[in-house]
Structure 1
Amino acid sequence: MKLLVVEDEKKLLENVAAFLERKGFLVDTAQDAEDGLDLALERNYDCIILDVILPGMGGYEFCRFLREEIGSDVPIIIITALGEIDSRIEGLKIGADDYLPKPFDLRELEARVRALIRRNQLRSEPVIRYGPLTYDSRSGVFSCSKKELSLTSRESSILELFLRNPGTVFSREEITDKIWETGFESRSNIVDVYIRYIRRKLEAAGILDIIQTVPRKGYGLRRLRDDG
């Protein structure tokens, strides 16, 4: 998942970017709205973290331009030192999806980013198909040939992660960070155990070799063959 952080305070920008990268995100940064807009127009982001007070164009103008001129629906979190309720309301009125007043806990920022991305994915991709596998995010059901697969909540979360990021190989640490609760200390083989469970259930449904193991890297979906 790819993020853009636009913040003119260099130390805060570096801290936020470093933290989110440790959590498995790909992060681009900008210290003013103009550079941030250039990046937002060139690349596709899963979420934008945007300061309100910026040199030159402010965060409100940045947000308004993306929404009204470009028609972008990328999730936007406004971070601001402004404590007045009117300032927060203004950000939401012009199209921001959430706000976080400074100072903030980086763990809360991560949680809000993940919640917004998840909400946006559910809205834009209610049904995902990958070869013989189908996932309906509205019901949380995985199926093969219209037959529902019986997966636990954790198994479903891991498989959904793979489905929403085809071609991405996740390390065991990245899977643990994304699927388990913050602060969870996993056993070294917990991810391997769940992958085995998922594979057995997929194989029982006739879905073979869809999850690949990449030595010394981790797990991900095997690329589908193009038979055309």
Structure 2
Amino acid sequence: MKVLVVEDDASIAANLYDYLEANGYVVDYASNGQAGLEMAVAVSWDAILLDLSLPCMDGLTLCRKLREEAHRDTPVLMLTARDALDDRLAGFMHGADDYLVKPFSLREVGARLGALIKRYRGEVAAQELRVADVRLDLTSLGVERAGRLIKLQPKCLQLLRIMMQAPGRVFGRAELESEVWGDEQPDSDTLRAHIYTLRKALTQRGEAELIETVHGLGYRLVARDTDAK
């Protein structure tokens, strides 16, 4: 999971970076509002940790522009020393999803962040993902297609889960590689080979192809007629 930290206090940013990275997140950092907005729009993030008082552009303006101009619904956890009710209400009115007052516990940041991401991905109540006739049990990680059990390698399973969480969305190669392999960047053919293996497993009995290659961009999972060709 990828998180953007927008914070001008270097010590706070470093603590957040180290804590989140140690807990399995892929983290990047911006020290001012303008850079933070540019990074928030340029990359697809699972969540953004946003300080309210920032140079170049304050957090409220950044959040508003993210929602109203860039039309991004990325979860935003606003971090600030301002604890008045009006300040918190202003954060929500400008598009924040949650609000945490400094000084804060890193464990609470992690808990709130995880909850935001789960809600964003629709994983709070759902115990499974379904696209067309493919079913992924989020508890057992079992995969079925039209009742047929499909055995997948761990990396292929991760790729399937990511795409099933947002059917129809185009996932870029770099994004999928970052999500699945993290800092251990694979060679140029590794992702392609895993997509091929996943496609083969899903269509082993002649079922309709669900994974599309969007040339020059990446891949997407589509819900289409599942009758065998």
Equivalence for 2:87? 58
The correspondence for 2:45, drawn from 16, 25, 31, is 25
For 2:136, the equivalent position in structure 1 comes to 135
Deviation at 1:169, TM superposition (A): 1.1
**Counterpart among 81, 99, 121 of residue 109 in structure 2:** 99
Unpaired segments ≥5 residues, structure 2: 10-29, 51-56
Asked whether the 8 Å contact 2:78–2:99 carries over to 1, the reply is yes
- Give deviations 1:176-205, integer Å, cap 9, x for gaps: 112212x22220111101000101111115
Deviation at 1:11, TM superposition (A): 4.6
Q: Structure 1, residues 4-37: CA drift from partner, whole Å, max 9, x if none?
A: 9998999533344444555533999983659858
Separation of aligned partners in 2, 1:39 and 1:171: 21
Give the Å deviation of 1:224: 2.2
Q: C-alpha distance in 2, partners of 1:213/1:40? A: 29
- Paired with 1:16 and 1:218, the residues of 2 have a C-alpha distance of 25
Letter in 2 for 1:173: A
Aligned residue among 76, 79, 103 for 1:83? 103
What is the one-letter code of the residue matched to 1:48?
V
Change (3 A) 1:35 1:158: closer
Q: Which residue matches 1:103?
A: none
CA-atom RMSD in angstroms = 4.5
Counterpart secondary structure, 1:195:
helix
Percent identity, please.
19
CA distance in 2, matches of 1:201, 1:27: 32
When residues 185 and 218 of structure 1 are mapped into structure 2, their CA distance, relative to the original with a 3 A threshold, is same
> Which residue does 2:23 correspond to in 1?
none
Q: Distance in 1 between matches of 2:174 and 2:167?
A: 18
> Structure 2 length normalisation: TM-score?
0.62
Q: What residue is the counterpart of 1:204 in the other structure?
A: 204
- Aligned partner of 1:155 in structure 2 is 156
Distance 1:21 1:32 in 2: 15
Distance 1:201 1:11 in 2: 45
In the TM superposition, residue 146 of structure 1 has moved relative to its aligned partner by 2.4
- What is the Cα deviation at residue 162 of structure 1? 0.8
Check the 8 A contact 1:211/1:222 in 2, yes or no.
yes
| Contact 2:47/2:76 (8 A) holds in 1 | no
SS of aligned partner of 1:188: coil
Structure 2 Cα separation of the partners of residues 192 and 206 of structure 1: 21
Q: 1:165 to 1:39 in 2, by over 3 A?
A: same
Contact 1:5–1:13 (CA under 8 A) maintained in structure 2 = no
